[in-house]
Copies of this chain bind each other. A is one copy, B any other.
Amino acid sequence: MNGASYSEFIKPKDIAINDQFWGAFMERVRTKVIPYQWKALNDKVPGAEPSYCIRNFKLAAELTRPELDYGVPRDIGFGGMVFQDSDLAKWIEAAAYSLVWHPDADLEKTLDETISIICHAQQDDGYLNTYYIINGLEKRFTNLKDNHELYCMGHFIEAAVAYYEARGKRELLDAMIRYVDCVDTHIGPEEGKLHGYPGHEIAEMALVRLYAVTGDEKHLRLAKYFIDQRGRSPLYFEEETGKNGNTFYWKDSYLKYQYYQAGKPVREQKEAEGHAVRAVYLYSGMADVARLTGDQELLSACKTLYANITKKQMYITGAIGQSAYGEAFSYDYDLPNDTVYAETCAAIGLAFFARRMASIEPRAEYADVLERTLFNSIISGMALDGESFFYVNPLEALPQASLKDRRMRHVKIERQKWFGCACCPPNLARIIASLGSYVHSSGPGTLYTHLYLGSEARLSLAGEDIKIKVETKYPWEGQIHISLGLKGKAAFSYGLRIPSWCGSFILKLNGKDAAYTLRDGYALLNREWQDGDSLDLSLDMPVNLIETNPHVRDNRAKLALTRGPLVYCLEEKDNGKELFRLHAGIPGDFKLNYEKDLLEGVYTISFTGKKEKDWQDDALYRNRTEDQYEERELKFIPYYAWANRGSGEMTVWLNK
């Protein structure tokens, strides 16, 4: 296939992160989330609903190879959700990344042993899904719509590639290649095959990732087929439902097949619809395939969907999926702050999509969103102690409403220990553990730095091995020092992202004002580079007051406060109850204060706002009088750090 020219993001193994801000998150993932999840997968968390995940694989292996005995009774049956396998895949993927930056022989041994069990469960024809191996293989591929076989396959492909890239081990990778072969014999355009595709997308982008490792066109072709076939008439899911007597939960909903983004061909989908995680996983796969095939129509569909999300359906925190109903997108400019769904996984999926679009075209609108999601709605999903998690990330929290208002029953005001449907914590683990792969990208003669975090990377460009060292106190400060290391000289264009929140910046090359071109949000320096060249980028990082497009009902006459990539919020802990009575007015000076002991060290922002006064009487309604305010010192903390000091009200948006 003919791929267009593009830049490719660096791989996790080619970058070492040494960053104050992100290092703490990565350590939480390594020391807390990965070990905790391993216990969960093995049903060893006291008081928690069992996962059954490892047990399912052991049982499947015993059934596949009767000579094996893992001690699991053979008549015990499958446990957990139909997609339970994917939990293990996500764990393997996150653990594999962690081995890159923190070798750990015990963990690697556990991985190898686990992979061995997984591979023992694999059927002779390559099939590998414990739900059907245990419940009966004759039913496999009969409910692609809801039974997550291809979803689990996708996650295992991601895990297999991650582990192969991390440690060079092929066992799981080879198993997945065989599994894809198996799927390929059953699903595809040829007569006699099922003309189906995944009910929950991810296989598309996973297959592209597999293709990058194997170079086998079959892998790209299957990804492309899943995308091209999706939503084509006659609708596969409709046929499958009728033929196999499957249930169709969304039949009477306005969502219908668009819950799965499968109601019309993907190139005709103009608005992000349906289950938000599914949607952005699909769009990520579409971007991957468009990138590799040069399919301009598909790329155009990606751009349309990306614009729809980011200009009409995205929260200021980068959260998406407004509606608890279907965990879904709802409609343009519908952005309720209190009843929002805003699943952590959906924000992660948006980061996937943005990264892929940035890979196709280095335009600030992509990396800006990538940064927005990472610094806000993604990491808000995890407590600062790494031990509890948000599935839903509201922009306004009201304890009494979460208790008594069923519109908000999905909105927890405290992070939860673990979930029955444990998708978010391991998804957080795998994106944070692979954060290095979001920093730089390079193509023929081009290098881009998209995110600023302390790191040392190496890549090959213009025939040279190049080291890129970044030093910064981002996101707290806007100074970024970049130094290059290379043996000879190399001519290439180096683009440094100038974030959209930054109104002015200074860029110096080797201590002197640099000559650069500003294009699409990147400062481009096109020159011959040599060892020791250094860049100093100073991003002006003021406090910004942000307002929302007037089409958005829920942010009418409201402001949010940001600094750099961070969105801030007000918590009851600092500002008392009834945050909705506070107004910004016209702030004078913002007081910026680094509080070392607060929330593991954050910059807080304060200014003098105002609060509407209590009335003198207890009337509920009265004739309009002049508004009465009292001055109030308002104190903001970064949004990602909310709900780490007990429960209480929180709001991102403040009345003007």
Contacts and interface: CB of A to CB of B under 8 A. Distances in A.
Given A553-B580, A655-B556, A546 B622 contact: yes
Nearest to A613: B550
Given A334-B405, A618-B311, A620-B314, A556 B544 contact: no
Nearest to A622: B547
Nearest to A548: B621
A376 interface: no
Interface in A538-589: 544-553, 556-557, 559-560, 578, 580-581
Contacts of A249: none
B549 A620 contact: yes
A407 to B, nearest CB: 4
Contacts of A544: 623-624
A65 B438 CA distance: 82
B614 A405 contact: no
A480 B623 CA distance: 24
Given A556-B655, A557-B557, A623 B311 contact: no
Interface of A: 254, 310-312, 314, 316, 323-325, 330-331, 334, 336, 339, 398, 400-401, 403-407, 544-553, 556-557, 559-560, 578, 580-581, 612-615, 618-625, 627, 655-656
A330 B620 contact: no
Contacts of A310: 620
10 contacts: A254-B403, A324-B406, A334-B404, A398-B553, A544-B623, A548-B620, A556-B580, A556-B581, A557-B655, A559-B624
Contacts of A316: 621
Contacts of A312: 620
A564 to B, nearest CB: 14
A548 B612 CA distance: 12
Contacts of A549: 615, 618-622
Contacts of A627: 656
A330 B547 contact: no
Given A544-B624, A547-B621, A557-B557, 6 more contacts: A325-B407, A334-B401, A334-B404, A407-B407, A546-B622, A547-B623
A560 B336 CA distance: 22
Contacts of A403: 254
Given A620-B310, A624-B545, A406 B325 contact: yes
Given A310-B620, A311-B620, A334-B401, A406 B546 contact: no
Centre residue among A311, A334, A556 by max chain B CB count within 10 A: A556
A651 to B, nearest CB: 10
A264 to B, nearest CB: 17
Contacts of A619: 311, 549
B546 A623 contact: yes
A625 B550 CA distance: 13
A579 to B, nearest CB: 9
A622 B614 CA distance: 32
Nearest to A618: B311
A550 B581 contact: yes
A559 B623 CA distance: 9
A398 to B, nearest CB: 8
A214 to B, nearest CB: 40
A404 B314 contact: no
A618 B332 CA distance: 12
